Chains A and B, each alone.
Chain A
Amino acid sequence: MTNVITTDNVRISYGDHEALHGINLNFQENQITALIGPSGCGKSTYLRSLNRMNDLIPNTTVTGEIRFRNNDIYSNSTDVVDLRKKIGMLFQQPNPFPLSVYENVAYGLKLSGVVNKRMLDERVEISLKQAAIWDEVKDSLNKNALSFSGGQQQRICMARVLAVQPEVILMDEPTSALDPISSAKIEETLMSIHDQFTIIIVTHNMQQAARISDKTAFLLNGDLVEFDQTEKMFINPKMDATSDYLNGKFG
């Protein structure tokens, strides 16, 4: 299997505070990798460094090497805008724009210069179907996306990411703000698209990690403790800390 993203000795600091102390992780094509760990362990920070969303936070320094398709994404010649088209992101809080459902999903396409109405319509429909929200919104594509429920909004956001056809999708606790039924729908969506996309998901929900991921990485206090096949790690963790966390002894 080919590695889509490789990270080597990644250290991230906010000012003087080092949040990550050298992470080595590789993410393989068309797999779902879960990042788990207690709050503040640095998993979101790490995730946000993969599409350079940390650039938006002042005083953040990233050292080490993060390569996407073997290109150093922190090199000066990297086009961040292009990078983010290839590495999409779904956030914790559903964050549709206060525009219509259609405008939300078509947003990324229009940025890329797609103006053909038929092509836009088609991509919007496919994306909404992939995100398993088409049936619920197909009669109200012109309605404000904010008028839908939280779970529906998150799937609209999912469709918005899928419409750009990224290679990798980063997800920062995408279901933690949702009710169990909506979460289940998001998980179903993930399962149905995971043979087309490389997915990296940060989650607080260990059952969720166990259900959907191929591989799991356990982070603790800015260090990578264990990284393995999800099954192996959940049944037979190598490290005591992993075992304690998975069994709910802390976290």
Chain B
Amino acid sequence: MEMQGEKNISKHLVRKQDSIQSKFIKPSKATREDQLGKLICYLSIGMIVALVVCILYFITSRGLATFIQNHVGIWQFISGSSWNPGMVDGSGNPQVGALPMIVTSFGVTLLAALLATPFAIAMAVFMTEIAPQRGTKALQAVTELLVGIPSVVYGFIGLSVIVPAVRHLFGGTGFGILSGTLVLFVMILPTVTSLSVDSLRAVPIHYRQASLALGATRWQTIRKVVLKTATPGVLTAIVFGMARAFGEALAVQMVIGNAVLMPHSLVSPASTLTSQLTTQIGNTVMGTLPNNALWSLALVLLLMSLFFNLTVRFIGNWGKRKYES
């Protein structure tokens, strides 16, 4: 009897040990949830990466077809100034010179950034330094509103207000780089402003205090400390604005005139890379040279956005080196 009792007890102990052991060996509910979360995360990332790779591959392969299948020289594409992909010139070469569009795209982008920067900085300074409460409330609403307006509405306003005004003031048709610049200026203003505001807000309050305590006026503090320290951030804001201007298609297309000609003045009709794409992509047949040539324009746009991204990174690193020890 006694023996059996001991046996029972030891059996019981073994069973207890087993259950503890299995508890530690088997993954708990929390662990399983953890792994499931990781799995979902990796799956989503994998899909996005695959999607991006597909897009890059598609644009690149189509964009390079102009040069590989149709044997157009890259230099001819970049520096040629006559664009008429369906036709051949006197010596039998297809007319796929993209220079007028590249120049126009850069023209409107740079001019719009040049115009928007002082206004954006002024607004940002007003919102962060001069009237942080009142100003932020009012101008924040304005910038958010500007972001929310669809680009076709900007284009429409440009078409019905800016183009006639430019025509009236400077002659010509009114379509051209100047009108495009003015429309883009309003469109990129909120981007540049809100990013500039962020970078001014990131300037530590103790820099301002130190400057004021040394007998600086508020304006001196803004100019010599706040804006100086925020320079990398403001530059980043400008580049983001330029990226947006470079990529904007619809609104620009409505006011630029869409003539693939080398712009000889700010009020002569021209065409950007994007406006040419939006107007022409429906008129070409996939696999033909006119279609491939448009894909090449898309490839140029892609490379440019890559360039803008790299610039932003470069500025960020430079700012870190300069303003953080």
Residues in chain A within 8 A of chain B (CB atoms)? 51, 53, 56, 81-82, 84-85, 88-89, 91, 93, 95-99, 107-108, 111-112, 144, 146-148, 157, 160-161, 164
Beyond the given pairs A96-B210, A98-B323, 10 more chain A to chain B contacts, judged by CB atoms under 8 angstroms and listed by A's residue number, are A53-B213, A56-B209, A81-B215, A85-B214, A89-B213, A98-B322, A107-B214, A144-B322, A148-B325, A164-B215
Contacts of B215 in A (CB 8 A): 81-82, 84-85, 108, 111-112, 164
Give the nearest-CB partner of A108 in chain B: B214
Residue contacts A-B, CB under 8 angstroms, 25 given = A53-B209, A53-B213, A56-B212, A81-B216, A84-B213, A85-B215, A89-B213, A95-B209, A95-B210, A96-B210, A97-B207, A97-B225, A97-B229, A98-B207, A98-B322, A99-B228, A107-B224, A108-B214, A111-B215, A111-B220, A112-B215, A146-B325, A147-B325, A160-B210, A164-B214
Contacts of A93 in B (CB 8 A): 206
Give the nearest-CB partner of B206 in chain A: A95
- Distance of A55 from chain B, by nearest CB (Å): 9
Contacts of A95 in B (CB 8 A): 204, 206-207, 209-210
Contacts of A148 in B (CB 8 A): 325
Complex Cα spacing A82 to B204, Å: 24
Q: Top 10 A-B pairs ranked by shortest CB distance?
A: A85-B215, A146-B325, A147-B325, A89-B213, A98-B323, A95-B206, A108-B214, A84-B215, A95-B210, A111-B216
Of residues 152 through 206 on chain B, the ones whose CB sits less than 8 Å from some CB of chain A are 204, 206
- Distance of B208 from chain A, by nearest CB (Å): 8
Complex Cα spacing A52 to B257, Å: 59
Contacts of B217 in A (CB 8 A): 81
A91 with B209: CB separation less than 8 A:
yes
- Distance of B133 from chain A, by nearest CB (Å): 8
Whether B6 is near chain A, meaning CB under 8 Å from some CB there, is no
Contacts of A88 in B (CB 8 A): 213-214
Interface size on B, residues (CB 8 A): 22
Among B204, B212, B213, B228, the most chain A Cβ lie within 10 Å of the Cβ of B213
Partner of A144, one of B207, B224, B325: B325
A157 with B323: CB separation less than 8 A:
no
A146 with B225: CB separation less than 8 A:
no
What secondary structure prevails in chain B residues at the interface with A? helix
Give the nearest-CB partner of A144 in chain B: B325
Complex Cα spacing A144 to B320, Å: 12
B325 with A107: CB separation less than 8 A:
no
- Distance of A80 from chain B, by nearest CB (Å): 9
- Distance of A10 from chain B, by nearest CB (Å): 19
Whether B76 is near chain A, meaning CB under 8 Å from some CB there, is no
Contacts of A146 in B (CB 8 A): 323-325
Complex Cα spacing A98 to B224, Å: 11
Whether B211 is near chain A, meaning CB under 8 Å from some CB there, is yes
A161 with B206: CB separation less than 8 A:
no
Partner of A98, one of B209, B212, B214, B229: B229
Complex Cα spacing A111 to B212, Å: 11
Of residues 284 through 325 on chain B, the ones whose CB sits less than 8 Å from some CB of chain A are 322-325
- Distance of A68 from chain B, by nearest CB (Å): 14
Complex Cα spacing A85 to B210, Å: 12
Contacts of B204 in A (CB 8 A): 95
B213 with A98: CB separation less than 8 A:
no
Complex Cα spacing A97 to B207, Å: 6
- Distance of A99 from chain B, by nearest CB (Å): 8
Contacts of B207 in A (CB 8 A): 95, 97-98
Partner of B211, one of A85, A107, A144, A161: A107
Among B204, B206, B210, the most chain A Cβ lie within 10 Å of the Cβ of B210
- Distance of B255 from chain A, by nearest CB (Å): 43
Partner of A160, one of B208, B212, B214, B224: B214
A111 with B214: CB separation less than 8 A:
yes
Complex Cα spacing A81 to B217, Å: 6
- Distance of B232 from chain A, by nearest CB (Å): 11
Instruction: Known A53-B209, A107-B224; judge A98-B216 contact (CB<8 A).
Output: no
Instruction: Known A98-B324, A146-B325; judge A91-B210 contact (CB<8 A).
Output: yes
A161 with B214: CB separation less than 8 A:
yes
Give the nearest-CB partner of B215 in chain A: A85
- Distance of A15 from chain B, by nearest CB (Å): 15
- Distance of A49 from chain B, by nearest CB (Å): 13
Contacts of A85 in B (CB 8 A): 214-215
